[in-house]
A and B are shown apart, each in its own frame.
Chain A
């Protein structure tokens, strides 16, 4: 790959996108369990994903026993995608959803793979090219809070395992709402709160004791996986996220628990 082909690094983003303005005057946010300055969250999250990008797919399979593929399939099945649709795969990372969407929207359709992180986008682009998927995919480095698209552009926006990393989630939801066409829908696939106490406990043990060790051994990066486990616990539960979507203007919002609520798929429409 030539250097001009590279997607620009984080600090090439306009300053306004690196350090989101903060309306309520509260300048701290969560980074996993730590409370940090909001300005620092973006670069710390970036650090995590720059460092996991290469092993990201392998780790995903390992950590979820491959089930993430079924969660993603469920998302596609629930999206109602059809040939000719325009789809935004936001925080799309290494492009699993993009690959499927690209095949389903066909020649007349388009899929935009957007992510804030250049390393993840590069890994994604290489992977999709190797699969022979080039025709209808665009790559855009963008922050979910400030989407660089015109209003009413997309039929479908998905954000899979991405929203919990976003500093100002309400702002991101509003930004997504604006780029959706009337009749368009948002699908948020994200870790959530297991429905049963026992499952919750088992899941806690797994995430805090086993997951970081796997990260250490396979990706040589225990800290990043510790962050992932913590960020999952800090993420809003099913009902909270649903009301956040309502507040951002989405209608007919609903969610479906998958694997006992370890993961939930939220869906909402813009009319």
Chain B
């Protein structure tokens, strides 16, 4: 992305209060997850009052995570306040995924994929906490829905995700083909038609899926 597109993107994001919407959503999700944690030995004292900042290449604003451990339960606050951070990491979502796939922090730093300033220990402490959380999504869902529907729902969820992934990959591949191989900047009628056709197919799939969901819910209700 050029510096200008980046600037424009960040201006639009700001006008729409996108940074605030993103931090609010993350905060909600993180604190919900913390409430579901089953590992009682997780200790937050090492990161109390500490702030870790992530500067992701994909986002036009920083994400800062601070822990307030004096409140009960412990609360994680997400903001775009970056000046006062104890540790700041510049990276991309792509690299973070590698971190999840068990490449070590130091390895990635050596490969220049992560740029850390400040106290690296703080980043490690945050990562340790994240890894030691034990969240049992399945039994949490089962508490609300019952065992059998939960099992069905999770199975179904996996299927939907898989089919969505293959569909979107296919679509992406097709689009790339149009753009790269035909080298046309203006989309032709037939391309639009093909695109519409695909969109229709996906819409049909979605409505089929939604019917199945309705049926599952109805089945469940009639039990």
Contact = CB atoms under 8 A, between A and B. Distances in A.
Contacts of B83: 80, 82
Contacts of B72: 132
B120 interface: no
Interface string B59-89: 0000000101011110101011101100000
A106 B70 contact: yes
B24 A73 contact: yes
A71 B16 CA distance: 10
Interface in A72-111: 73-74, 76-77, 80-83, 100, 103-104, 106-107
From B23, B71, B83, name the one whose CB has the most chain A CB atoms within 10 angstroms.
B71
B75 A74 contact: no
A77 B68 contact: no
Interface residues of B, number: 21
B17 A77 contact: no
Contacts of A44: none
Nearest to B23: A73
Contact of A106 (B20, B21, B49): B49
Report the interface size class on chain A: 20 to 34
Nearest to A83: B49
Contacts of A73: 17, 20, 23-24, 79
Nearest to B51: A83
A48 interface: no
Contacts of A106: 49, 68, 70
Interface string B16-40: 0101110110000000000000000
A80 B66 CA distance: 14
Contact of A67 (B17, B68, B79): B17
A104 B70 CA distance: 11
Contacts of B17: 67, 70-71, 73-74, 258-259
Nearest to B84: A82
A70 B83 CA distance: 20
Contact of B81 (A81, A107, A133): A81
A201 interface: no
B20 A132 contact: no
Contacts of A259: 17
A103 B68 contact: yes
5 contacts: A73-B24, A103-B66, A104-B79, A104-B81, A106-B70
Interface of A: 67, 69-71, 73-74, 76-77, 80-83, 100, 103-104, 106-107, 131-133, 135, 258-259
Given A73-B24, A132-B71, 13 more contacts: A70-B24, A71-B17, A73-B17, A73-B20, A74-B17, A77-B80, A77-B81, A80-B84, A103-B75, A104-B66, A104-B81, A106-B68, A107-B49
